[in-house]
Amino acid sequence: MIKLSPKLSQKFSYALLYIATLLAIVPVITIIFIIVKNGISAISLEFLTSMPKNGMREGGILPAILGTFSIVLCAITIILPVGVCAAIYLNEYAKDNFLTKIIKLSIVNLAGIPSVVYGLFGLGIFVMFFKLGVSIIAGALTLSIMELPVVITTARGALNSVPYSFREASWSLGVSRWQTIRHVVLPNALPGILTGTILTVARISGETAPILFTAAAFYVPHLPHSIFDQVMAMPYHLYIISTQIPNMPKNIIYGTALVLLMVVLTMSCIAMIARIYFKKRRKW
Amino acid sequence: MSKIEVKKFNLYYSDFHALKDIDINIEENRVTAMIGPSGCGKSSLLRSINRINDMVEGACTSGRICISGQNIYDEKVDVGFLRKNVGMVFQRPNPFPISIYENVAFGLKVNRIASNKNVIDGVVEKSLKAVLLWDDIKDKLRKSALSLTLEQQQRLCIARVLAVAPNIILLDEPCSALDPVATVKVEELIIQLKDKYTIVIVTHNMQQAARVSHDTAFMLLGKLIEFDKTEKIFTNPSKKETSDYVTGRFG
């Protein structure tokens, strides 16, 4: 074995660590670069605001954008209250007994279930058993179940970051547990919950498998009327035009990918900026 | 009759027996200090007087603590009402990260004691004057409480307690986060407050106990060893443990 001098081995290790970091970011940049390069020519106001034409080979992707938008909006309205309430219960009320340990364990494990399993579960429960049909609401419910563990975990993190001394101060003034949560804990946990929510929106915008059997349609000639409608959705639309339609112009495929990418990236950036902003304001 | 009567009081944290058969009578409008080494149970006893220890998981008690003759561990007792009557100030100043004004008004607003703005304004002013903070900050009531110095923050926390009109104030090492100059100032405030309130102070600092208190309780390993006039405790204690501790032979 060759013994390197300490100086040389320091340089060598540094290079190794540096290269590993590069390996992590290079693919991301390459993906973004390729998508932007091939897709930017398709982007226009018309592409974003009109219906697909000629077997989806021309025209815009408005129904897919609106479809994704409505599924995500619907899902977030379900996830947020349920997730925050569950997090409040687990963090502020639950005694540390066997039952809560089981609940916490299953929340962690729920996050490890493959998304396609959630999709099939949603098909069985919401689409067929509750007879919601393939619809926005069925897709949103499926996404909710999938994302709830993550939201609960982030919300708990946000609640935990509020110092215990604030709670004690409030209790010692004769304020009840619930009023303390409402007037002290929640206002201070809100920034964390908010950033977590934006990231959740980003994540579920791009989810394909859970909505595959529960909400997404191959092609819908009109815009969604109600939450019981089937809709087109960006991730699924991207899958279809990439695999199911012959002679699909390449720039439309990349353009769709670019729009989806931009939606997700913008959300993540907003979350990042919000986090920095709130961190600066927080002084305790 | 004593303001606070503790009778055969025991406190357990799950399996740990933290307070053992405590008997102590605390008199009205006096400052009572509790001293003893870390972990002796002095804070636990203090935190039992406003039942904030109820919030600790696994805490349970036996025996009685009577305030003005009423056992506060009685089932019928409204804990919210009790805690309004028995205010508490903590080791580290813990103002809420909201404005100075809102901090003092917090108890009034959330407990719905007052909703009229003039009434609340009046209480805020009175409370801040009582802790000698008003003149320094009357022009910046809308500023964040966290912009104040630590000493001012601790005064603000006391004002926040005074705003809900307690009879008793519990202070849990209120000066341990403050520098010596600030400590002296807060001590002066404590001495002033004793005319209107019954004060119980837990402290690590024996000089502080000697400076501010009338009576002193010495605790060790969950037991009350000796309780007497402060002068007596520091000059001529009757128990050997007490004299060992106050002369600095251990602790």
DSSP H helices in chain B: 42-49, 79-85, 100-110, 117-130, 134-137, 150-163, 180-193, 206-212, 230-235, 240-246
Instruction: State how far residue B148 is from chain A, nearest Cα, in angstroms.
Output: 12
Residues 6+ apart with CB under 8 A from A14: none
- A13 C-beta neighbours (distance < 10 Å), count: 11
Question: A179 phi and psi, to 5 degrees?
Answer: -60, -35
Residue B251 has pLDDT above 60, yes or no: no
Q: Which of A263, A265, A245, A212 is nearest to A52 (CA)?
A: A245
Q: What is the mean pLDDT of chain B?
A: 91
Classify the C-alpha dihedral A196-A200-A203-A209 as positive or negative: positive
pLDDT at B8: 93
Residues 6+ apart with CB under 8 A from A203: A147, A150, A264
The one-letter code for the residue type at B68 is S
What would the pLDDT profile of B22-59 be if each residue is shown by its tens digit?
999 999 999 999 999 988 999 999 999 999 998 888 89
Residue B251 resides in a domain: no
Write the DSSP symbol of residue A231: B
What would the pLDDT profile of A209-260 be if each residue is shown by its tens digit?
999 999 988 888 888 888 899 999 999 999 999 998 888 888 899 999 999 9
Residues in chain B: 251
Between CA B39 and CA B61 the distance in angstroms is: 18
| pTM value > 0.90 | no
Domain spanning A60-281: which superfamily?
Answer: MetI-like (1.10.3720.10)
Residues 6+ apart with CB under 8 A from A175: A183, A184, B80, B107, B110, B111
Are B106 and A173 a contacting pair at CB < 8 A?
A: yes
Residues in chain A: 284
Instruction: State how far residue B87 is from chain A, nearest Cα, in angstroms.
Output: 6
Between CA B211 and CA B193 the distance in angstroms is: 14
Question: Structural domain tally of chain B?
Answer: 1
Largest Cα span, chain B: 56
Q: What is the mean pLDDT of chain A?
A: 90
Please give the structure tokens belonging to residue B58: 């696994």
Residue B15 resides in a domain: yes
Confidence of residue A1 (pLDDT cuts 50, 70, 90): low
- pLDDT above 70 as % of chain A: 98
Residue A183 has pLDDT above 60, yes or no: yes
Lowest mean pLDDT among A135-149, A174-188, A212-226, A251-265: A212-226
Please give the structure tokens belonging to residue A179: 């009023």
Interface test with B, best of A96, A173, A180, A281 (most B CBs within 10 A): A173
Q: Which helix (H) or strand (E) holds B224?
A: strand B223-229
What residues of chain A lie within 8 A of the CB of B110, using their CB?
Answer: 170, 173, 175, 179, 183
Contact residues of B toward A, CB < 8 A: 50, 52, 55, 57, 79-84, 87-88, 90, 92, 94-97, 106-107, 110-111, 144, 146, 157, 160-161, 164
Domain boundaries, chain A: 60-281
Asked if A278 is an interface residue toward chain B (Cβ–Cβ < 8 A), one would say: no
pLDDT at B141: 92
pLDDT at A217: 86
Between CA A147 and CA A149 the distance in angstroms is: 6
Q: Which of A185, A86, A278 is nearest to B110 (CA)?
A: A185
What would the pLDDT profile of B216-246 be if each residue is shown by its tens digit?
999 999 999 999 999 999 998 899 889 888 8
Please give the structure tokens belonging to residue A102: 């089981």
Write the DSSP symbol of residue A267: H
CA angle B12, B59, B167 (to 5 degrees): 100
Q: Which of B154, B219, B171 is nearest to B6 (CA)?
A: B219
Residue B11 has pLDDT above 90, yes or no: yes
The one-letter code for the residue type at B170 is L
The one-letter code for the residue type at B152 is Q
Residue B100 resides in a domain: yes
Confidence of residue B101 (pLDDT cuts 50, 70, 90): very high
- Give the structural domain span for B212: 4-246
What residues of chain A lie within 8 A of the CB of B94, using their CB?
Answer: 163, 165-166, 168-169
What residues of chain B lie within 8 A of the CB of A166, using their CB?
Answer: 94, 96
CATH value at residue B115: 3.40.50.300
Question: In the structure, how many helices (H) and strands (E) does chain B have?
Answer: 10, 10
Please give the structure tokens belonging to residue B22: 């405590």
Mean pLDDT of B3-20: 92
Residue B63 resides in a domain: yes
Residues 6+ apart with CB under 8 A from B130: B159, B162, B193
Write the DSSP symbol of residue A221: S
Residue B240 resides in a domain: yes
CB of A204 within 8 A of CB of A198?
A: no
Please determine, for the modelled complex, whether the ipTM score is greater than 0.90: yes
Between CA A187 and CA A178 the distance in angstroms is: 13
Between CA B89 and CA B49 the distance in angstroms is: 13
